[in-house]
Amino acid sequence: MSFGFNTDVLVGEELFHVQTEPCARPQRAIETTVFQNGSVQYLHRTELPEPGSDSGVEPLIREQHARVIQELKTGALRGTGPELELEWLNREEPATAGHLRVRVQIRREGRPVPGCRVAMQLASGPVLFARADTEGIAELQAQLPPDPVLVLLLQAEQGLSVGTRKYRVAKTEP
């Protein structure tokens, strides 16, 4: 058993590599791994029965490979990658002129995540978007609504990884 499938899949602007192959350790299985930029984003493993006839294994490998590609294309795998960590860097900075400026750094497994998509929503206001720079930092700015206490929602996405943080923001009087 030394065959498998490798496919590059473009989803929107993101490129993934899907690899499906049989493996024997620790038990016989079919493994499908989804990579993005050389990093494992998702792993699916289906156990196989004990050796006997391997003639029916190739269709199973082909089927699992196609199924994972379809799930990737439809977005069903979103959120299955390593979690993104969000840190609000300028949380102590006061709002000025009725605006709140948010600098957030996004990391995955302790490393900055450049180019990820960051969304911000303050109370029930509009959702604002930005892209993280090469250090994984995004800047967003929103107008403050009149409420004295607000909820700030930050969400970052890249590949199959997602991270979300909520903060309570108490407005201070000038």
- Residues whose CB falls within 8 Å of the CB of residue 156, separated by 6 or more in sequence, listed in order: 84, 86, 104, 106, 113, 116, 117, 118, 119, 132, 138, 162, 163, 164
Q: Which two tokens stand for residue 35?
A: 């990579």
Give 138-173 pLDDT, tens digit per residue. 999 998 887 767 899 999 999 899 999 999 887 665
Cα distance between residue 132 and residue 86, in whole Å: 11
CA angle 113, 158, 70 (to 5 degrees): 150
pTM: 0.78
Closest CA to 21 of 73, 58, 54, 56: 58
Give 53-111 pLDDT, tens digit per residue. 556 788 899 999 999 999 999 999 998 999 999 999 999 887 777 888 999 999 998 99
Distance of CA 141 to the CA centre of its chain: 23
